[in-house]
A and B are shown apart, each in its own frame.
Chain A
Amino acid sequence: MKKMANLKEFNLIIAGIGGQGNLLASEIIASAAVREGRRVRVGETFGAAQRGGPVASYIRIGSEVYSPILDPGRADLIVGLEPVETLRNTLRFLRPGGGIVMNTRPIVPVEVSMGLQKYPSLEEILEALRRIGAERIIYFDATSEAERLGMAIVMNMIMLGAAAGSGLLPISTEAIRQVITDRLAGPLLELNLKAFELGFEKSRSQ
């Protein structure tokens, strides 16, 4: 965890496509920041944008933060739930030297399957992320890990754990765990906490 007593502005993006659990992940991080007494703004898009389209949550933490929208080149960390969505947001928003935590499992647009568009390879994406100026890139197939846990939808919790394990968040891991524990119940809580810890360890070992 980055120690910042007088945090002025920290910008995080959680990027994915509709249905990947992006909004819950961002709500948990932002609630953890509020729990730690921070000023927080989270901008998101709902409605039509959910339907298989790109969805990004902009989480802004710090005393100088007012706007719910992030400006180009100002993201400190991008958590990408899907490779091309990671690249799309990195290109537009990552500041030089920023960090990336990425799920490498693609969700292929119909136009690609129809042969109308091309989907880049993982190698091409990683090279592009570095060219844009990403300093630290943590990546693994979080969907496969989630499937091994028995439920593909906990991928978002694995990625949340990976973000915490990267050490790039200005929030304590304990606060995030606490919010997850408050928010979920029963066997679902157990599974989600397990997913969180799995992502945390995956990320620390990279």
Chain B
Amino acid sequence: MSRRWIPPYALDEPGRRVLLLGNQAIARGFLEGGGQVASSYPGTPASEILETIADFAEMYGIYAEWADNERVAFEVCSGAAMCGLRTMCSMKHIGVNWAMDPLMHVVLRNPTGGFILVSGDDPSQHSSANEQDNRFLARAACIPCYEPSDPAEAKEMTVKLFEISEAYRLPVMLRVTTRLCHVRGDVVLGPIRMERRKGKMADDISWRKTPRLTGLERIPPQKPLHDKEEKLREAAESLEWNRVEANGGERLGVIASGVSYNYAREAIGRLGLEGKVALLKLGITYPLPEKLISNFLSELDRLLVVEELEPFVELQVKAISKEANPKIEIYGKLDPARKLIPREFELNTFIVSNALAEFAGVPKPVPPGQGAELGEVGRMVTPRGLTMCAGCPHRATGYELKQALRRLKVEDYIIIGDIGCYGMLSYPPLRMIDTYLGMGSSVGVSQGCARATGGMAIGIIGDSTFLHAGIPGLISAVWNNTKIKLVICDNMATAMTGFQPHPGTGVTAMRRQGNKVEIENVVRGIGIPCLEIIDPYKVSESVEAFTRALEFDGPAVVISRRICATEAVRLARRQGVRLKPYFVDPEKCTGCRTCINTFGCPALVYDPSKSKAWIDTTLCMGCGVCSQICPFQAIIEGE
């Protein structure tokens, strides 16, 4: 396919300075470092890494795929690395929870190909249900953990980490956070490594090639792994990504890693503390360069550790200080009397400036224009929560389920949501989800709720999430005859993370045609006794189907299938099809607000001056669901 515009991350123009997203810079590092296999499952903030690799994969003879969950992705990469290819497995922080099992094993297998695990942590939970510091998982697996501070450094690190991983025959973690993944910055392109290896499992990995004595020698021991860790600790001393910024003679010091370095650096400049506060930037946080840190500490009276989430570096530095400088006062998160950096939420220059001012005994910065008289203006600012898009099929699905519950007068029910856009059914006006845990858990948690309460327990899960993690739970429900109702909202995309394809679409990451995994075939194959398939844009038929599923005495599944509205709008635009927004006939509209109060599509707006509803045609995509809901037939299809 020819295209006029080649995105900057795919250009073969070494030396050119371009603007790249952090995730694109990591993907570019994969290309420049000779990566050959990449596998991932979408998850914010890490999704664009695999998307970018998939975008240039064809062009450069690389293989990139979405797997159906992070564990599978990690296993695919483990296989490729054990066969000698350079490989990258990227995922969001909680994705690593899924990959932990194979990770704990592959560290003992001495893979010959460079193997980078990218963990995208999400301080402040911009798109996540928890904050989780995955540096502890690197520590648990005995693999080194590197933290870049900006896109340019992320690219450089990625290239070099392939070499480090191969030198130690050990996977490495590139730990990034949302403010690295989703920051755009200027990056200088390097040369693209074009070596393409043919994979082969090394003789010392394959058990076919090792002589068999007792059988027990097949269980690899931990000792060589621990020896690697010691060597990595020594090697950390000379890493170029660790750097002391000081004039000499400073009595105060700051240690900062990853993105936090930027805040510390700006804060020192803003408070005019150059020459008074020395800064040690760390590019590796496990294992730490102990000599470098000991030397840094030995000159100081006081130290401030600036890092996001857990006191991971601070804990280790405290241990180092015992010998290096026992009198040093360490500020950060651990000591309640010296706690200057919050353990929750992401940092910024303002937070770090305040901490640093207190630490250095200088006046705290006052932001201009933040006087109390502006409180009145603040109250004027209308809050705006998240919502599903106009025309979203999930909103219709939720409305119809609610109608069926009302019709059957079911009052004792619990609805467990899952990870995806339908989670927003918990917001007004539908407000119908009670709670949720992690990926796929609606299926299992609803079973526990059903057993505990004896009432109706309903799980709501998306297509991609069901295929990721919902299947074993459904098998369990069928096996134990636990009478849950499971609604699978199939919008034919992994919408929340950016419309990536999944097994149900049959299209692969590299936009090739694979084989389509039909969700209803999976559900039928498990042996679910009641299955309904609906189009949520057809309101009364869908309410009927939900009613049947709710009445069924046993586990039941409703697949609600309709393409994501945002995708539908995009497709129409691409194909030149004009969408027909609906409009409200002001003669018929009584201003009852049923459409808004029971359905609440953002395209439906109430005009208090006329006491009538109207439809914002810039948002309406013509799904027509509201016209089926209006009790006065006042909503009409446009021309």
Binding site for B on A (CB under 8 A): 17, 19, 26-27, 30-31, 34, 37-49, 51-54, 64-69, 71-74, 84-85, 87-88, 91, 94-96, 105, 107-120, 124-125, 128, 131-133, 143, 147, 152, 182-185
Q: Determine whether the beta carbon of B182 is less than 8 Å from that of A96.
A: no
Contact residue among B5, B185, B269 (Cβ-Cβ distance under 8 Å from A182): B5
- The A/B interface has a contact count, at CB < 8 Å, of 201
Q: Name the residue on A nearest B346 (C-beta).
A: A69
Other CB < 8 Å A-B pairs besides A54-B384, A110-B601, 14 of them? A27-B19, A30-B184, A31-B18, A31-B19, A66-B261, A66-B262, A66-B263, A73-B367, A73-B370, A84-B382, A96-B368, A107-B619, A114-B429, A133-B369
Q: CB within 8 A of B127: which of A49, A88, A111?
A: A49
Q: Is the CB of B184 within 8 A of A27?
A: yes
Structural contact, A48 and B44, CB atoms closer than 8 A: yes
Query: Are B183 and A53 interface neighbours, CB within 8 A?
Result: no
**Given A68-B179, A114-B593, are A87 and B262 also a contact pair (CB < 8 Å)?**
no
Residues from chain B with Cβ under 8 Å of A109 in the complex: 382-385, 387, 602
Is chain B's binding surface mostly helix, strand, loop or mixed?
loop
Top 10 A-B residue pairs of the complex, sorted by shortest distance between their CB atoms? A47-B127, A47-B44, A73-B367, A68-B183, A66-B262, A42-B184, A52-B387, A72-B367, A71-B350, A113-B606
A residues less than 8 Å from B424 (CB atoms): 51
Is B421 located at the chain interface by the 8 A CB criterion? Answer: yes
Known: A114-B593, A115-B606. Is A128-B377 also a contact (CB below 8 A)?
yes
Contacts A48-B44, A53-B387 given: A40-B186 contact, CB under 8 Å?
Answer: yes
List A contacts of B369 (CB < 8 A). Answer: 73, 94-96, 132-133
Contact with A along B29-41 (1 / 0, CB 8 A): 0000000000000
Show 27 A/B contacts (Cβ-Cβ < 8 Å), sorted by A.
A17-B384, A38-B186, A39-B186, A42-B19, A44-B184, A48-B496, A49-B386, A51-B388, A51-B421, A53-B384, A66-B263, A68-B183, A68-B185, A68-B259, A69-B349, A74-B367, A84-B381, A113-B593, A113-B600, A113-B613, A114-B596, A118-B382, A120-B382, A124-B380, A131-B377, A132-B377, A184-B5
B618 near A: Cβ within 8 Å?
yes
* A-binding residues in B (CB < 8 A): 4-5, 17-19, 44-45, 126-127, 150, 178-179, 182-186, 259, 261-263, 265-266, 269, 346, 348-350, 353, 367-370, 374, 377-378, 380-389, 421, 424, 428-429, 496-498, 566, 593, 596-597, 600-602, 604-606, 608, 613, 616, 618-619
Contact A111–B19 (Cβ < 8 Å): no
Alpha-carbon separation in the docked complex, A31 to B259 (Å): 22
Chain A residue numbers with a CB within 8 Å of B386 are 48-49, 51-53
B179's partner among A54, A69, A118 (CB-CB below 8 A) is: A69
Task: Point out the residues of chain A lying under 8 angstroms from B19, CB to CB.
Answer: 27, 30-31, 34, 40, 42
The answer to whether B602 and A88 have CB atoms under 8 Å apart is no
Which of A64, A67, A85, A108 contacts B348 (CB under 8 A)? A67
Chain B contacts of A133 at CB under 8 A?
A: 369
Q: How far is the CB of B132 from chain A (nearest CB, A)?
A: 16
| A47:B126 contact, CB within 8 angstroms | yes
Is B618 within 8 A of A52, CB to CB? no
Chain A proximity of B302: nearest CB distance (Å): 23
B185–A42 touching, CB < 8 Å = yes
Q: Is the CB of B606 within 8 A of A116?
A: no
Determine the chain A residues whose CB is within 8 A of the CB of B179 once the complex forms.
Answer: 43, 68-69
Determine which of A68, A88, A108, A147 lies in contact with B381 in the assembled complex, contact meaning CB atoms within 8 Å.
A88
CA distance A45 to B177 in the complex (A): 12
The contact of B370 among A72, A120, A124, by CB within 8 Å, is A72
Please state if B616 and A107 are interface contacts (CB–CB under 8 Å).
yes
A99 to chain B, nearest CB (A): 14
Q: How far is the CB of A137 from chain B (nearest CB, A)?
A: 14
| A113 to B19 Cα, complex, angstroms | 41
- Distance between Cα atoms of A58 and B374 in the complex (Å): 22
Q: How far is the CB of B626 from chain A (nearest CB, A)?
A: 12
Residues of B within 8 A of A147 (CB): 618
C-alpha spacing A87/B259, complex, angstroms? 29
Measured CB to CB, the nearest residue on chain A to B126 is A45
Q: Compute how far the CA of A38 lies from the CA of B185 in the bound complex, rounded to whole angstroms.
A: 10
Q: Which of B377, B383, B613 is packed against the most chain A CB atoms within 10 Å?
A: B377
Residue of B nearest to A52 (CB): B387
Q: Assuming A52-B602, A110-B429, A120-B380, is B421 touching A44 (CB within 8 A)?
A: no
Give chain B residues whose Cβ lies under 8 Å from the Cβ of A67.
Answer: 262-263, 266, 348-349
Instruction: Tell me the bound Cα distance from A128 to B126 in angstroms.
Output: 29
Q: Which of B261, B346, B381, B597 has the most CB of A within 10 A?
A: B381
Min CB–CB distance A91 → chain B (angstroms): 6
Q: Inside 8 A of A68's CB, which chain B residues have their CB?
A: 179, 183, 185, 259, 262
Cβ–Cβ < 8 Å partners of A46 in chain B? 44-45, 126-127, 182, 498
Bound Cα distance from A57 to B600, whole angstroms = 28
Contacts A47-B497, A66-B266, A183-B5 given; does A84 touch B384 at CB 8 Å: yes
Residues from chain B with a CB closer than 8 A to the CB of A27 are: 19, 184
